[in-house]
Chains A and B, each alone.
Chain A
């Protein structure tokens, strides 16, 4: 369906308002958010009628339900129980812009940031919503809840990436907008579509050759909790990106540099600008949020902390001494934005006493605690050779570097990177990225788009992939235009993992074990079976 002429005029008229609504951009600072005007054009193209959504589901929060969110609320998951803790106290969600369906497609922020899923969205919840609503829940909206808006909506095949991997379509202008000027960046590489199973990159309306050229990639929604850690301005945050030297994005409200760890491609500097973009792209609220709504949303987001508090086999994670890593209240009280890759603070502090047998616990609980404690030690101390990972092996450690998980996942309490955290571990770049293996005996087809990247001849080749290589998602390079950024993704926090599979930005690890197996293959770690079990048990408690 094409947009009506009247709506197109509305979009054109609102383009500038979307960009500037609620923000003032100081001289020399990025206009906020530059690429959203392009996205608004595509958001306006897609039908956005709200579906009739029945209430239901185990713990599902539908937009506009007017339920109260208590200060602490617990939800069961496959590994135990997650607690969502609101530092600011209970919240009445009626009228709250995080919970209300502000746009025409019936979605609210909570649609994809569900309390039971650690304020992300698990594949289980997605599939349950599909079954319970016959595909009519707003999360399946055509704009990005389907593989491409041009596909017949309401058919499972048209929403395959969401249903099979938990992926939403992210559409970004190509070439990218220059965040420091009014024009566009001249990319350091040629981007060619090699494979396009969803058809969106080659679509005449929504694709790269459309009037509003867009590249479509598919990513998981990130966790909206523990965000003071994500947006901290402490260690490693300065006017330049610590790993590349490029200028850091700045907060348009106050001109201060930000850590750029908020989104998979670091395209938005603050919670406020992210909310603005999300309202346009995900909610199809074409005139965006107003300043009061942004303030209310970001204040709410900053006071949420989420973590596992109970393990199915270990019991109450906070019982006994030494479990300083566990639970959302420890997160809320933790030191924010500091290095934990040390034996003074630790990334995830668990004292030895916690892992020792305790008389009041069962044998099974004590055994699982011992395994979790071993997993914590493996995370911090088990060395392996990290090789050919852009923005890790290029920052003075050597290639390869003999290090541990905590090297990259070094921020105290979250496992984030304290500095600007995009790097390439191979989740989206070939040959490491997961895809359906093709052979004469299978009819299953590849799911992800595939792009050929050809780095410009007048620049050095990519140091690890060469002049020409392939990716399912160029990641940060879709924003920076840099060849070396292709496939680099901002790492995510390690919290609430049990509540929100699948993992990685492209949902390519269905379980924690698959995540561990990916690293084992990628870096030839050669974990023993026991090490894998201990790591999985540890990660499931975070």
Chain B
């Protein structure tokens, strides 16, 4: 959804930060493909295909992508300026014009060995999961966790991992009350336009997260969901759900 730039913008884009909506491009190599995007006459390198353990998940042909990243000073990869860090969100509307898959070009290869080839692995995921956090210890008090989403994104394959810290804390506490608060976000693009997530998405996020916890049952005495449909202008950190875990002892029995 494109809006006039009427919303407040807390921090203007830094010189090397970019935010734009454009078609993604697949550039095949003799190993795994690169993902690129073109904007303002420049080609940007977003990342490579690996597997579900990767922080970067490639977007989708057939859809525009919102690219939010910082231009790296390093060498180009697959012909593109490297964005690192980068957040890429798949825009939900179908965009059949986004359909460019470039075949392998002589001399255009990855300057590194990808962590995961396009076929069978060497027996491990591309990226080792982070070491488990130490188990929560008392005293237990109300604690708030944040879960972030892609632009226009809701619960997906990454959400269960993102909830692990919440679950670990809730289980350590015992009986808890959960408050789920979701919000809708907006982003100012490099060209000054502001795009906001669709109306109602905060409620969907809150409902879906609440449903995940409610389905767990044991130990979760109550799940409250709330949402704000007022677009919060900022970067990816505004696309979030806050989950507050309150021990039932602290919340008071009637509330639990």
Question: Would B122 and A343 count as touching, CB distance under 8 A?
Answer: yes
B123–A344 CB distance below 8 A: yes
Interface contact A245-B52, CB-CB below 8 Å: no
B28-A28 in contact (CB<8A): no
Instruction: Please pick, from B94, B120, B152, the residue contacting A343 in the complex, using a CB distance under 8 A.
Output: B120
Which of B52, B152, B214 has its CB near the most chain A CB atoms (within 10 A)? B52
Instruction: Say yes or no: A341-B200 contact (C-beta < 8 A), given A238-B160, A398-B58, A463-B63.
Output: no
Query: Are A401 and B49 in contact (CB-based, < 8 A)?
Result: yes
**How far is it, in angstroms, between the C-alpha of A431 and the C-alpha of B59 when the chains are bound?**
23
B193 within 8 A of A: no
**Contact B217 A27, beta carbon cutoff 8 Å:** yes
Contact between chains at A245 and B160 (CB < 8 Å): yes
A interface footprint on B13-32 (CB within 8 Å = 1, 0 otherwise): 00000000000001010001
Cα distance, A394 to B61, chains bound together (Å): 12
CB distance from A234 to the nearest CB of B (A): 15
Q: Are A460 and B92 in contact (CB under 8 A)?
A: yes
Decide if A395 is an interface residue (CB 8 Å cutoff): yes
With contacts A396-B52, A400-B101, A404-B118 taken as known, whether A180 is within 8 angstroms of B35 at the C-beta atoms is no
Cross-chain contact of A458 among B59, B119, B124, B200 (Cβ < 8 A): B200
Cα A18 to Cα B167 with chains together (Å): 35
Q: Give the residues in chain A near B160, CB-CB below 8 Å.
A: 238-240, 242, 245
Q: A394: which of B93, B94, B156, B212 is its contact (CB, 8 Å)?
A: B156
C-alpha gap A343/B84 in the complex (Å)? 32
* In the complex, residue of chain A having the shortest beta-carbon distance to the beta carbon of B35: A398
Nearest B residue to A344 via CB reads: B123
Chain A binding site: helix, strand, loop or mixed by DSSP?
A: loop
- Set of chain A residues within 8 Å of B105, measured between Cβ atoms: none
User: Is B190's CB within 8 Å of the partner chain A?
Assistant: no
Instruction: Tell me how far the C-beta of A464 lies from the nearest C-beta in chain B, rounded to whole angstroms.
Output: 7
Q: Is the CB of A341 within 8 A of B120?
A: yes
Is the Cβ of B59 less than 8 Å from the Cβ of A461?
Answer: no
Main secondary structure of the interface of B (DSSP, over half): loop
A463 to B59, CA, bound (A): 12
Task: Specify which of A244, A343, A396, A399 is in contact with B61 (CB 8 Å cutoff).
Answer: A399
Q: How far is the CA of A146 from the CA of B85 in the complex (A)?
A: 59
Whether the Cβ atoms of B101 and A399 lie closer than 8 Å is no
Q: Which residues of A contact B212 (CB under 8 A)?
A: 240, 245-247
Q: Which among B51, B59, B101, B159 has the greatest number of chain A C-beta atoms within 10 A?
A: B51
State whether A400 and B119 are in contact (beta carbons under 8 Å apart), knowing that A247-B215, A463-B90 are contacts in the complex: no
Q: Which stretch of A280-288, A327-335, A382-390 is in the interface? A: A382-390
How many Å from the CB of B28 to the closest CB on chain A? 7
Whether the pair B118, A403 counts as a contact (CB closer than 8 A) is: yes
Question: Which residues of chain B are near A460, meaning CB under 8 Å?
Answer: 92-93, 152, 198
Knowing A341-B120, A381-B120, A463-B60, say if A240 contacts B159 (CB, 8 Å). Answer: yes
Q: A343-B120, A398-B57, A399-B61 are in contact. Are A461 and B28 (CB under 8 A)?
A: no
Asked if B157 is at the interface of the complex by the 8 Å CB criterion, the answer is yes
B215 — nearest CB in chain A belongs to which residue? A247
Task: Check: A204 CB closer than 8 A to any chain B CB.
Answer: no
CA of A388 to CA of B98 in the docked complex: distance in angstroms? 13
Evaluate contact between A28 and B60: CB separation under 8 angstroms: no
| Complex partner residue of A461 from B57, B92, B215, B217, CB under 8 angstroms | B92
Task: Please encode chain A, from 448 to 489, with 1 for each CB lying within 8 Å of some chain B CB and 0 for all others.
Answer: 000000000010110110100000000000000000000000
Determine if A345 is an interface residue (Cβ-Cβ < 8 Å).
yes
Bound-state Cα–Cα, A404 to B215, Å? 35
When the two chains form the complex, which single residue of A29, A342, A395, A401 contacts B217, counting CB atoms closer than 8 Å? A29
Q: Quick check: B157 and A402 within 8 Å, CB to CB?
A: no
B43 within 8 A of A: no
Q: Which of A244, A344, A398, A464 contacts B156 (CB 8 A)?
A: A244
A28 and B215 form a contact (CB under 8 A): yes
- Neighbour of B157 across the interface among A239, A244, A399, A400, CB < 8 A: A244
Please, how many angstroms separate the alpha-carbon atoms of A381 and B54 in the complex?
Answer: 21
Whether, in the assembled complex, B216 has its beta carbon less than 8 Å from a beta carbon of chain A, the answer is yes
Question: Which residues of B sit under 8 angstroms from A461, Cβ to Cβ?
Answer: 92-94
Interface contact A245-B159, CB-CB below 8 Å: yes
Chain A residues near B59 (CB-CB < 8 A): 398-399
Task: Tell me, in angstroms, the Cα distance from A343 to B156 when the chains sit together.
Answer: 29
Q: Using a CB-CB cutoff of 8 Å, which residues 37-91 of chain B contact chain A?
A: 49, 51-52, 54, 57-63, 90
CB pair B52 A395 closer than 8 Å: yes
Q: How far is the CB of B30 from chain A (nearest CB, A)?
A: 11
Query: In the complex, what distance in Å separates the CA atom of A395 from the CA atom of B160?
Result: 12
List of A residues within 8 angstroms of B218 by Cβ: 27-28, 255
Q: Which residues of the partner chain B approach A28 to less than 8 Å between Cβ atoms? A: 214-218
Q: Is there an interface contact between A402 and B33, defined as CB atoms closer than 8 Å? A: yes
Determine if A77 is an interface residue (Cβ-Cβ < 8 Å): no
Q: Are A381 and B216 in contact (CB under 8 A)?
A: no
Taking CB atoms, residues of chain A closer than 8 Å to B63 are: 463
From 110 to 127 in chain A, residues with beta carbon under 8 angstroms from any chain B beta carbon are none
Cα distance, A395 to B155, chains bound together (Å)? 12
Interface presence of A243 (CB below 8 A)? yes
Question: Does B211 sit within 8 A of A, measured CB to CB?
Answer: yes
**8 Å CB interface, A355-405 against B:** 380-381, 383, 385, 387-388, 393-404
Kindly state whether residue B121 has any CB partner on chain A within 8 Å: yes
Task: Determine if B102 is an interface residue (Cβ-Cβ < 8 Å).
Answer: no
- How far is A243 from B161 in the complex, measured between Cα atoms in Å? 11
List 16 contacting pairs A-B, 8 Å CB cutoff, sorted by A: A28-B214, A29-B217, A242-B157, A244-B157, A342-B120, A343-B123, A398-B60, A400-B101, A402-B49, A402-B118, A461-B93, A463-B60, A463-B63, A463-B92, A463-B94, A466-B94
Binding site for B on A (CB under 8 A): 26-29, 180, 238-240, 242-247, 255, 341-346, 380-381, 383, 385, 387-388, 393-404, 406, 458, 460-461, 463-464, 466
For the complex of A and B, list the 7 residue pairs with the smallest distance between their C-beta atoms, beginning with the closest: A28-B217, A398-B58, A247-B215, A460-B92, A344-B123, A399-B60, A396-B57
What residues make up the interface of B, taking CB atoms closer than 8 Å to A?
Answer: 26, 28, 32-33, 35, 49, 51-52, 54, 57-63, 90, 92-94, 101, 118-124, 152, 155-160, 163, 167, 198, 200, 208, 211-212, 214-218
Given A28-B217, A240-B163, 12 extra CB contacts under 8 A: A28-B216, A180-B211, A239-B160, A242-B160, A244-B157, A245-B156, A397-B58, A398-B35, A402-B33, A460-B92, A461-B94, A463-B92
